[in-house]
Amino acid sequence: MEIPAKTVFYTIERTIKTYRRFSKQNFSKVVNDITVDQKLILQYLNDRPELSQNEIAELVFKDNASLTRMIELMVRKRFLKRSIRPEDRRRFNIELTSKGKEILEKLTPVIAENRKRAFAGITEEELAQLQLTLNKILTNLNHT
């Protein structure tokens, strides 16, 4: 029987959780009270303002109810603004506020430093191979 702590998936999960914790600690040095998921939402909306709530949920791996709570919290923090779409009153426009954009600007150098630290001692070739391997695993799992 395989020991879970010695599997590739355990190592991937542990790496992701460690990186998220590391990122959150470094974020808190610059911006109070923001999570990695909230930063991702800000980034996606900055890059693609037309995204729907369902599309954002898929991108950040959250169910719709969880994402709705996150967006409500981010609206209360004044990171986001939500308004009803005139063409479909059942849907919302979600957009960054100036405060949300300011937070992204403050976090950009922190993210660069986080990645630099995480990838220290790893060559471009090793990173490319890792990306290729992970994409193959995703393809295998998405085509079953």
CATH T-level fold of 4-142: Arc Repressor Mutant, subunit A (1.10.10)
- Rg for the chain, CA atoms, rounded: 18
Query: Residue 129 has what pLDDT?
Result: 97
Express each pLDDT in 33-52 by its tens digit. 899 999 999 999 999 998 98
Q: How far is it, in rounded angstroms, from Cα 144 to Cα 138? A: 10
Across 19-44, average pLDDT: 94
- CA distances for 18 relative to 11, 13, 44, 53, 81, angstroms: 10, 9, 22, 28, 31
Instruction: Tell which residue, 42, 31, 34, 18, has the closest CA to residue 114.
Output: 18
What are the residue ranges spanned by the domains of the chain?
4-142
Q: What is the per-residue pLDDT for 93?
A: 86
Mean pLDDT of 93-101: 94
DSSP code of 94?
A: E
pLDDT tens track for 49-71: 989 889 999 999 999 999 999 99
Structure tokens at 13: 């999960």
Residue 62 has a CB neighbour count (10 Å cut-off) of 17
Question: Could you tell me the pTM of the whole model?
Answer: 0.84
